[in-house]
Amino acid sequence: MILSLSKDAIEIIKEQDVVLFRNRLKETAIRIKMSLVNQTRLITAASELVRNMLRYANGGMCLIEIVTRGRDNGIRLTFTDKGPGIPDIALAMRDGYSTGKSLGMGLPGSKRLVNEFEIKSQAGEGTMVIILKWSHG
């Protein structure tokens, strides 16, 4: 049973928003006393996904939620965009695959950095990625 405690939506339109978003995320992570390593992992994963959003979908929305499952708190991030969508998710999740000229580590890498990772995409309609990181774990 996962309960959501607080919600905070941030719009990502330009590259400068990434810095603002990352700072907000860091504040939230510090508030729930997330360990430094987990903070860095979450922020890095989020940063990958936000960059994807900017690069392939010209921006989108990000929802920062503090969630709890009893004694443990965590942060859940929901990224939604109205971009072209990902036609083959299995391929996109493979290490080293990229349609742009990047390293192709963004999606698979961020999956390895967080506890829960969910991706839904509809070609032509957009993509939604939900990640969750517990403060200890």
Partner 1 sequence: MLQKKKKSILENWMKNQLVYEGLREDLISNDELRIQSEKLIDALVANLSADGINDLDSEKWSPVIEILGGISITRARQGFSPRETGNFIFTLKEALLLVLQEEIKDDPKTLYEESLKISRLMDNLSIVTFETFIKGREEVILRQTDEIAEISTPVIRVWEGILALPIIGTLDSARTQIVMENLLQEIVNTRSSIAILDISGVPAVDSLVAQHLIKTVSATRLMGADCIISGIRPEIAQTIVHLGIDLSSITTKASLASALAYAFKSMKLEVRRANTVQKL
Residues that bind partner 1 (CB under 8 A): 15, 18-19, 22, 26, 36-37, 39-41, 43-44, 47-48, 51, 95, 102-103, 105-106, 108-110, 112-113
**Which CB atom, from 48 or from 65, has the smaller least distance to partner 1?**
48
- Which helix or strand (DSSP H or E) is residue 14 part of? none
In angstroms, what CA-CA distances link 131 with 47, 77, 99, 101, 124? Answer: 12, 5, 22, 24, 22
- Smallest distance, Å, CB 96 to partner 1? 9
Would you give the DSSP letter of residue 61? Answer: E
Task: Determine phi and psi for 58, rounding to 5 degrees.
Answer: 55, 35
**Which CB atom, from 15 or from 125, has the smaller least distance to partner 1?**
15
**Which CB atom, from 68 or from 109, has the smaller least distance to partner 1?**
109
